[in-house]
Amino acid sequence: MPKKKNIKKKKKIVKKISPKSGFAKRRSLSKKPLVKRKALSKKPVRRGAKKVNKATLRKKTSVIKGSKRRLRLQKDYKPTKSEAFMNPMQVEYFRQKLHKWRKAVLQESSETLKHLKEETSGIADPSDRATIETEHALELRTRDRQRKLLLKIDQALERIDSGIYGFCEVTGAPISLFRLEARPIATMSIEAQELHEKKEKVQNND
């Protein structure tokens, strides 16, 4: 009998791959060479498209935010009853009127101050000295009146800015244009002013 050849069974060797080494291989495979991105090409500017200037844009935004443009009045403009009461034209008219008045009062006040600074010590004659002192006392009173008037003018300008100028502070009714023309710092209508003066007289008599 022929001898049976010993057939050696080849054992299949299965290499176990550890999870770490497998992850490393996957990671190495997933890594791809970096490709430089192409620089984005700038879009061509359309013909006719206007470039926005930053300076002009700032000016526009500042105007929108708060700065109100002043109206230009005609030289012969005067408020009339046919117009809406305290429309923008009338408000600007009285604003300019108050500013002119304020400027004139400041000019007078500076002149009064110059007179007050004059020295009286060099005058020998007592009568001349007395007359100058009385003049100075009158100028002091004038300066005090000017100071109070400037305060009232400033208050009227504040009422214009707050949008309540021209309305009676007692009744809330419109003050007549005739009264405002004569006295732009008026805060009460004629009727309310008369009633106020009567009350003051009664209080003084008591």
Task: Please give the Cα distance from 152 to 135 (Å, whole number).
Answer: 26
Q: What angle do CA 131, 136, 139 make, to 5 degrees?
A: 130
Interaxial angle between packed helices 88-116 and 126-162, expressed in degrees from 0 to 180 and rounded to the nearest 10: 160
Q: What is the pLDDT along the chain (206 residues), one digit of tens a residue?
A: 555 445 444 444 545 555 555 545 555 555 555 555 555 555 555 555 444 454 443 444 333 343 456 788 988 999 999 999 999 999 999 999 999 999 999 998 888 777 766 655 556 666 767 777 777 788 888 889 999 999 999 999 999 999 999 999 999 999 999 999 999 999 999 999 999 999 998 988 86
* Ranges of each domain in the chain: 77-205
- What is the residue whose two structure tokens read 């620089």? 39
Tokens of residue 17, six digits:
């791959």
- Cα–Cα distance list, 80 to 7, 15, 92, 115, 203 (Å): 129, 107, 14, 42, 38
Statement: 77-205 belongs to CATH 1.20.120.910: yes
What count of other Cβ atoms lies within 10 Å of the Cβ of residue 37? 6
Residues forming a β-bridge with 174: 167
Cβ(95)–Cβ(160) below 8 Å: yes
Residues 6 or more apart whose Cβ sits within 8 Å of residue 73? 89, 92, 93, 96
Upper half-sphere CA count for residue 79 (Cβ side, 13 Å): 25
